[in-house]
Amino acid sequence: MKKTIVAVFALVTFAGTAFAGDVIEFAAPKMGKVTFPHKKHQEMLKDCKKCHEKTPGKIEGGFSKDWAHKTCKGCHITNKKGPTGCKDCHKK
C-alpha cells in the first residue's frame, strides 16, 4: 500500500513538469504578446513554487499583469539576467 501511495504522489508531483508547455504566449493586446520560455525557466529555477505558489489575481496561466511585472521583472533585476524593459518582453 505504501508503494502505491508513493508512486501516485510521485506521478502527481512530476506530471506538471512532463506536461508543461515549452513556450507559453500571453495576450497583451495594448502592448503586444509576451512569449514566455516556460521550459527554460523550469530548467534554470528547478523550483516550481517560485512562480506557481500564491498567484493572486489569476488570469491566463495563473498570473496577473501586476504579478508578472513585479515577480518576473523583479527576479530578472535581482539576478541581473533576463529582460526588464517593456519592449524586451512585449512584441507587436
**Per-residue model confidence as pLDDT tens digits over 7-41:** 444 444 444 444 457 998 888 888 999 999 999 99
For residue 21, the model assigns a pLDDT of 73
Task: Considering only CA atoms, give the Rg of the chain.
Answer: 16
Residue 33: CB partners within 8 Å, gap ≥ 6?
25, 26, 27, 90, 91
Is 3 or 44 the better-scoring residue by pLDDT?
44
- Please, what are the domains in the chain? 21-91 (3.90.10.10)
CB atoms within 10 A of CB 20: 14
For residue 24, the model assigns a pLDDT of 87
For residue 77, the model assigns a pLDDT of 95
pLDDT digits (tens, 9 = 90+) for 35-74: 999 999 999 989 887 887 665 544 445 567 888 888 889 9
Q: In what order do the strands lie in the sheet with 33-36?
A: 24-26, 33-36, 90-91
For residue 49, the model assigns a pLDDT of 79
**Nearest Cα to Cα of residue 42 among 26, 59, 20:** 20
